[in-house]
Amino acid sequence: MTDPTVAVCIATIPPRHEMLQRALASVEAQTRPADQVIVQVDRDGEGAAATRNKAWRRAETDYVAILDDDDEFLPDHLFLTMRTAKSKNADLVYSWFEHVGWPEWTPQRPDPLAVPVDGQLQHPLGVKFGPEQAEHLRSYAFIPVTTVMRRAMLETVGGYPGPGDPLWERCRGLEDWAVEIKFLDAHAKFVHVPARTWRLHHGVGTAGGSWKGTYEHPTVGNI
């Protein structure tokens, strides 16, 4: 069986050139090189969903690896995620991240991305994705944007929903969460890599709005 190919897709806007260079440097440093690198610049204010869709539709690979322009891959990100994509025949692979600019989570300030395991919330790193986590994902965006997705599945679901789409509205403008729900609806296979393979920098998203660290911690009663 041949190894699947992967394109790294980065959506960006012109004022973020320096951050983009950091992101690209992290792609160049991968132990498993990308087969294609796509930078899609939003010069006309079309927004993150439209820009991401333009990026992945330029890909000529089996998978696409999404990277925000203000974040960066750790050196083994593509190696670990693509090894998992191949061995598990996954449609969506997600790992975890190192915080940069975030305070450490404590019992007084619990991790806002915690997921349920047998009804009890815990840190997502190392939690295998199953029915309980899938149900949680429908009501809470705990998988960050930095995923590896099968390009054919993105074609099947029509890509990222954007403004005007009811799902985008229901997901509070988080196009990455909306496309994950579309993957769930299409019975896509989600697989978690229990490792920190990328670095998340606290800041403003590609479209100019901030999502990072904005959620209140859920309670078991909300699940």
**Quick one: average pLDDT of 71-99?**
97
What is the per-residue pLDDT for 113?
87
What is the per-residue pLDDT for 111?
72
Given a contact cutoff of 8 angstroms between Cβ atoms, the answer to whether 42 and 13 are in contact is yes
DSSP assignment letter at 104: P
Q: Give the angle 98-180-89 at the CA atoms, nearest 5°.
A: 85
Percent of the chain with pLDDT over 70: 86
89-112 pLDDT, tens digit per residue, is 999 999 999 988 766 666 555 677
Dihedral in degrees, nearest 10, Cα atoms 12, 16, 22, 28: 30
Per-residue pLDDT band at 214 (split at 50, 70, 90): very low
Domains with residue ranges and CATH for the chain: 6-222 (3.90.550.10)
Per-residue pLDDT band at 215 (split at 50, 70, 90): very low
129-184 pLDDT, tens digit per residue, is 999 999 999 999 999 999 999 999 999 999 999 999 999 999 999 999 999 999 99
| Stated pTM of the model | 0.89
Q: Give the angle 55-202-148 at the CA atoms, nearest 5°.
A: 35
Spatial distance between the Cα atoms of 105 and 82, rounded to a whole number of angstroms: 29
What is the per-residue pLDDT for 101?
76
Question: If we measure between CA atoms, which residue out of 188, 194, 7 comes closest to residue 89?
Answer: 188
Spatial distance between the Cα atoms of 161 and 180, rounded to a whole number of angstroms: 10
Element (H, E) at 115: strand 115-117
What is the per-residue pLDDT for 100?
86
